[in-house]
Copies of this chain bind each other. A is one copy, B any other.
């Protein structure tokens, strides 16, 4: 099973890329919360493809249709179900793939799990499209978190070999988060953004693709949230972030770089700021012993390059066992990192809401 997340809230995601619809059920949201559906739509638009030159030409309307849990725009305590119709699908593109697994894609693993009965069209429920309902759920949670003074924001930390600046892990503000979100390409340093766009264009023209990293900050977290051992903030955040297709790594605070430092370099000394206990630096990424320290929660996650590339690749025909050359048709993003930014925010918001509610 795959579709459930959470303990205080329960998020259930369903659908396949080319099924009639995809959607989610979000349970555990308190009654009486006025949802701003315009803001939900605006949030989801940040994920939608086709908005600029660097994304796929597919048009996915991605309009979530709330069919339960909300009465006159206000939550009623019943599970919220939102459905997004699938349209503009060209299933024909995928027919030959069942027997010709695409390198680095889920095709082969899914075939082995489901004895070939998996829905191969558009990647089935392994598709990046499944992040649309995740974004819906995240957009709901973000509104609830904001009412508690908690804000979530992310940016492209790198695409290919080009690195953006990083958030200031101690002093990052809501205004900075908002400013990045408002950009067409969510980076801090726009010059780096231009380099990224040009690198993506180059990859596309070569029939290739790029990966990258996304950095996410959660500010306004009260100290004392989470648990040690199996139910800490890192456990839960990582567990949902790996639910975003193509994520292959996650690190909190100084992360892998921090593992190369000495204790005296990586430790964050405590200081008193206006009567509150803070840390001078934030190599711990806002989490100590699985529990929030009150400092910004900071993590980065790594996305592999889009597996579907136009270049010819070698694969093996599952039926015949013969090696075959594969040229993947269809319309695929040469880089999904920019579209993944709101997905990371959404996943983080759902995880945080599961701790806070």
Contacts and interface: CB of A to CB of B under 8 A. Distances in A.
Interface in A215-235: 222-232, 234-235
Q: How many copies does the complex hold?
A: 4
Contact of A79 (B2, B101, B212, B322): B2
A4 B12 contact: yes
B253 A250 contact: no
A130 interface: yes
Most buried by B among A117, A232, A305: A305
Contacts of A104: 263, 266-268, 283-284, 288
A177 interface: no
Given A249-B259, A264-B309, A309-B264, A31 B108 contact: no
Interface string A227-263: 1111110111011101101011111111110111111
Given A228-B125, A249-B249, A4 B4 contact: yes
A203 interface: yes
Contact of A32 (B117, B263, B284): B117
A58 interface: no
Contacts of A11: 230
A42 interface: no
A74 interface: yes
Interface in A68-111: 68-69, 71, 74-81, 83, 101, 103-111
Interface stretch (A20-28, A139-147, A188-196): A20-28
A239 B230 contact: yes
A225 B113 contact: yes
B227 A1 contact: yes
A47 interface: no
Given A247-B234, A277-B108, A259 B113 contact: no
A79 B203 contact: no
A339 interface: no
A114 B118 CA distance: 34
Given A16-B68, A223-B112, A251-B248, A314 B258 contact: no
Q: Which 3 A-B pairs have the closest CB atoms?
A: A106-B289, A249-B251, A112-B224
